[in-house]
Every structure is written in C-alpha cells, then in structure tokens.
C-alpha cells in the first residue's frame, strides 16, 4: 500500500467516524444538558458565563441558529471538534513517526470512549472543544520552536488563547510546555517568538479577563462547587482520604479510558510478532516533548485534587488523552510489516463498529432522562397550568434543575429564558425587577428545595410569598416497552401584579 492509498484510507476513516457519530446522536430525543447550556451562553452575547469562558457558546448559538434551531448543528459541531483534533494529532505525530504509524496513532483513539461514547453522551461542551485545541496548540508550539516562524508563534498564541476561552484547563498543557522549555530548550526565552505568542494569547483572552474581574470572579465559584472543593482547609493532613482518593480515582479513570487503545496496540504487536522497548530514531528532546505533553497535564490535574482535597471528575482528563497513540508508537515501536498496517486498519474499523453497536444497543434499551425526556407532553401540560394560573400571561422565565429548564427553553414554543445559577453572586445576566414582574416556573427533582431555589433565582420575591409546589409524574419506555417512572416538582410563580 503506497502513501497516497494510506492517506486516503486515513481520511476515509476519520470522515466516517465523524459521520457515524453525528448521525447516531440524531436518534436522541433531546440534546445534552451541556449542549443546550452552551447555546444559552452564546445567547448572552457576553465575554463570560456563569460557569466557563464563553467560546463554546460563541460557536454553538450561531450554528444552532444557522441550522434553523435544529439539534443536528450541535451534533455536527462536536464531531467536527473530534475530526480537527484527529488531524492535528496526525500532523504532530508525523514529526516523530512514519506516515503509517502517524495514522495509527489517531485511529487507535477509536477505542477511547472520550472520542466516541462521550461525544454521543455530551454532544458538545467545553471538554469536547478542547479535543481539538489541545493537539492544535501542541502542534503549533512544536512547529514554532523548530522553525521559529512568526506565523507559527501567532497560531500557537491564538489556539492557546481560544482554548483558554473554552476552558481554563489549557493552563495544564501550557504548564507542560513551559516545563519542556526549561528542560530542553531554554534558548527560546531569549528569542522574540515566545513573547509574540504570549502577546497574541493575552490579547485573545483579555476581554474575558476584564469581564471576570469586573464581576468579582463569580464564575470561578462553579469550579469549586463542581469539585466540591475544600480549598479553605489548607492544612495538608486534613481531609487526607479525599486528598488521596480523588486524584487516584481521576488517574484510574484515565487508565480505563485508554485500556481499549492499549489492547489494540498489543494485538498489533502480536500480529507483527515484534516489539521494541526504545526508539533510537527519536531524539532525546523529542522524547521529552512527547512525555511532557502526554503526562504532565494529567499529573498536574490530579495534583490539584491533592492540594485542594476536591473531587476531580474523570472527564476533566478527556482532552489530555489524545497523545496516547503517539506515546505507544514512539516508546514501544512495532516494526510494521507489509500486512501490519492493513491489520491495524481492520482492527480500527472493528473498534468503530463495536463502539457504535454498543452505544446503539444502549440507546435502544435505556430509559434515561437526559436522552429520552418526553418534553412535548410534559411542557404542554405545564404550559396549560401556567396559562390557567396567570390568565394567559406570557411565560418569560424558567429556573431550577438543568435537565428540565434548558429543554423547556429549546423544546417549547414559549421559549422562556433560563435564569442561570450564579452561586450566590449577583447575576449580570438577568433583570430581577423584570423577573418578579413577569413571574417564572421553577422545576426541581426535590420538593424541599423549591422554596430555596425560587428565592435564590428570584431575589426580589417577598419573604411572605407562599410557594405552592406541584408534583408531576411521567414515565420513559425503551424499545421493548420496559418503562420507568420519574417525578419532579414544579411551582408556578405568577407575575407580581396577578
């Protein structure tokens, strides 16, 4: 098989990957919470959100509108992030590996659930967009330090800045690249290129940093709540169990995520009947670079859990695992024979078919709210109750549990605005006087939390206002008519003058 045939097969593979995983998502009844939340952030037209930096929203909302408010736009966007990430991983791998092994370092990711099942589950979010930006930033950095072109440094600064505007975790990759420069290439600090990249990156993120400062850094409160952080307890021996357990669980999640990749590699080595434990064709500097970008971000992310005794969700490592193929083929090289590449391609397509089958089976048998919420029936009935209690007043606001309220906005002809949780800070996104005058619907899983959430989102609600919760029960059935009941509670808070 010549190089042209190999390249064509590679592009067929990644295009099929994007196509199949995009089409599979269209079988969902409702977009993921993260995807709907990203659209809502884009509608804020702001340099910040209540949780993450705004770039995911800047992409999601316009594309969603261009596609006529169809979910397909969001499903496609997530798959495009993966496809772009694949291309940059291949371009980076070519600096260390042969053409066929560079292809294989991408195709092996078909066995990593961060590039398959997680795309189906989350559609598009700030983790998925970093699947593109992590390898892109690493590629432009490597290209910059070897060719020292101003244009490459600009692209490195721009990709790093946009990654920061997507999620702050790009800091871990930038830290890894800084460590690499200290170890192998300190001369770069004497050249202008790295400072050009810094200036470009800073200019890219500066409006967001100003916005965060202006609003008292309240968006950082989400990170501490999400991680269940105990940062206030700086004494290292306190919460010693959490400091050990959470990071170890995070590391274990990353190992489990690439077990399929390692299995594919072992099967290929068995087929080729050879494997080495060192690659003499890769320079010491390049080996340091590969190990640094592959492992320092993961170690650093877990170390945050050790320092803070806070939970480190496994998905926070998703964007950091894309270099596993480069690591395997660079440090445990297989001598590819004539049929080795063909075997690996077949194995990759088998992995693709296996993952698609597994997720398809899950889709048929599941009874999960986040995939099959019967929103039309639910929202039609609640709308009728709202119209009855408010004398057909327009429904402008909804608040409460994310899995209901975002669906209420995007799968309901009333399209009420979601009152975002600002974690105890004054919201820069809502007019509280208008909320009180217009009224709102509050939806939660727990009845006991309705009063607290209603008063938190509607801060001007009178203290003596009595909130009357209502129970709603519904069921979700799979394709075999096996059903499961769910319930939630909601409260209708009419306009103030009603």
Q: Which letter does DSSP use for residue 97 in this model?
A: S
- Amino acid 192: pLDDT: 94
Torsion 112-113-117-123 (CA) sign? negative
Give rounded-to-5 percent helix, strand, coil for the chain. Answer: 65, 5, 30
How many angstroms separate the CA atoms of 94 and 83, rounded? 17
Secondary structure element (H or E) that encloses residue 443, with its range = strand 440-444
Integer angstrom CA distances of residue 107 from 116, 291, 311, 324: 12, 20, 31, 11
For helices 193-214 and 150-164, the axis angle rounded to 10 degrees is: 20
- Amino acid 353: pLDDT: 93
DSSP helix/strand/coil, 482:
coil
Q: Which letter does DSSP use for residue 80 in this model?
A: H
How many angstroms separate the CA atoms of 182 and 202, rounded? 21
- Amino acid 368: pLDDT: 67
Distance of CA 73 to the CA centre of its chain: 16
CB count within 10 Å of CB 99 equals 15
Helices (H), 229-321: 240-257, 259-272, 284-308
Strands (E), 308-410: 397-400
Structure tokens at 1: 């098989």
Residues 33 and 126 sit within 8 Å (Cβ to Cβ): no
Q: Which residues, 6 or more positions from 177, have their beta carbon under 8 angstroms from its beta carbon?
A: 138, 141, 292, 293
Structure tokens at 293: 């970008």
- Amino acid 424: pLDDT: 67
**CB-facing half-sphere around the CA of 320: CA atoms within 13 A:** 30
- Amino acid 352: pLDDT: 94
Structure tokens at 304: 């945050």
Integer angstrom CA distances of residue 442 from 79, 426, 473: 33, 19, 16
Structure tokens at 401: 């549990």
**Beta-bridge partners for 442:** 399, 491
- The overall pTM is greater than 0.75: yes
- Amino acid 321: pLDDT: 95
What is the signed CA dihedral for 238, 239, 244, 246, rounded to 10 degrees? Answer: -140
User: Phi, psi at residue 471, to the nearest 5°?
Assistant: -95, 140
- Amino acid 413: pLDDT: 84
Nearest to 31 by CA among 80, 77, 62: 77
Nearest to 138 by CA among 303, 291, 338: 291
Structure tokens at 108: 């092996």
DSSP helix/strand/coil, 112:
coil
Sheet with 397-400, strands from edge to edge, namely 417-418, 397-400, 440-444, 483-493, 470-477
Nearest to 409 by CA among 440, 367, 449, 369: 440
Per-residue pLDDT of the chain (498 residues), as tens digits, is 677 878 888 889 999 999 999 999 998 888 999 999 999 999 988 999 988 999 999 999 999 999 999 999 999 999 999 999 999 999 999 999 999 999 999 999 999 999 999 999 999 999 999 999 999 999 999 999 999 999 999 999 999 999 999 999 999 999 999 999 999 999 999 999 999 999 999 999 999 999 999 887 777 766 666 555 444 444 444 567 777 888 899 999 999 999 999 999 999 999 888 776 667 788 999 999 999 999 999 999 998 888 776 778 889 999 999 999 999 999 988 888 778 888 999 999 999 999 999 888 887 777 666 667 778 888 889 999 999 999 999 999 999 998 889 989 998 888 899 998 877 677 788 888 898 899 999 999 888 888 888 888 887 788 888 888 899 888 777 666 778 888 889 999 999 765
**Beta-bridge partners for 475:** 485
């Amino acid at each position: 098989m010549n190089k042209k045939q190999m390249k064509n097969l590679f592009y067929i593979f990644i295009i099929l990957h994007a196509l199949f995983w995009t089409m599979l998502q269209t079988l969902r009844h409702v977009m993921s919470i993260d995807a709907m939340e990203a659209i809502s952030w884009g509608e804020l037209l702001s340099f910040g959100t209540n949780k993450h930096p705004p770039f995911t929203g800047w992409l999601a909302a316009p594309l969603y509108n261009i596609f006529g408010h169809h979910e397909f736009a969001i499903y496609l966007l997530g798959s495009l992030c993966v496809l772009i990430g694949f291309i940059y991983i291949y371009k980076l791998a070519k600096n260390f590996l042969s053409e066929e092994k560079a292809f294989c370092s991408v195709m092996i990711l078909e066995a990593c659930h961060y590039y398959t099942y997680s795309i189906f589950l989350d559609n598009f979010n700030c983790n998925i967009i970093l699947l593109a930006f992590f390898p892109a930033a690493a590629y432009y950095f490597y290209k910059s330090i070897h060719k020292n072109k101003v244009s490459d440094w600009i692209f490195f600064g721009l990709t790093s800045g946009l990654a920061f505007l997507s999620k702050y975790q790009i800091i871990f990759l930038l830290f890894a690249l800084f460590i690499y420069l200290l170890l192998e290439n300190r001369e770069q600090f004497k050249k202008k290129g790295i400072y050009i990249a810094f200036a470009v990156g800073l200019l890219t993120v500066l409006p967001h940093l100003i916005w965060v400062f202006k609003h008292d850094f309240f968006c950082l409160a989400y990170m501490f709540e999400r991680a269940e952080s105990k940062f206030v307890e700086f004494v290292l021996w306190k919460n010693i169990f959490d400091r050990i357990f959470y990071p170890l669980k995070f590391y274990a999640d990353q190992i489990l995520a690439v077990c399929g990749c390692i299995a594919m590699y072992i099967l290929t080595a068995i087929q080729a009947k050879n494997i080495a434990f060192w690659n003499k064709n890769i320079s010491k500097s390049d080996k340091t670079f590969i190990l640094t970008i592959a492992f320092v971000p993961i170690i650093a992310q877990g170390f945050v859990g050790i320092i803070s005794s806070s939970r480190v969700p496994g998905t926070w490592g998703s964007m950091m695992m894309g270099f596993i193929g480069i690591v395997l083929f660079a440090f445990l090289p297989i001598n590819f024979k004539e049929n080795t590449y063909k075997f690996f391609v077949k194995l990759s397509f088998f992995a693709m078919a296996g993952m698609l089958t597994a997720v398809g089976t899950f889709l048929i048998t599941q009874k999960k709210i986040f995939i099959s919420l019967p929103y039309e029936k639910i929202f039609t009935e609640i709308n009728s109750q709202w119209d009855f209690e408010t004398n057909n007043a327009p429904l402008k606001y909804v608040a409460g549990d994310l899995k209901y309220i975002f669906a209420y906005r995007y799968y309901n002809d009333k399209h009420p605005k979601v009152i975002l949780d600002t974690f105890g800070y004054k919201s820069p996104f809502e007019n509280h006087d208008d909320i009180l005058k217009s009224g709102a619907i509050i939806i939660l899983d727990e009845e006991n939390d309705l009063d607290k959430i209603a008063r938190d989102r509607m801060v001007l609600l009178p203290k003596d206002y009595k909130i009357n919760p209502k129970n709603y029960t519904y069921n979700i059935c799979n394709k075999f008519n096996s059903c499961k009941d769910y319930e939630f509670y909601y409260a209708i808070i009419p306009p103030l003058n009603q």
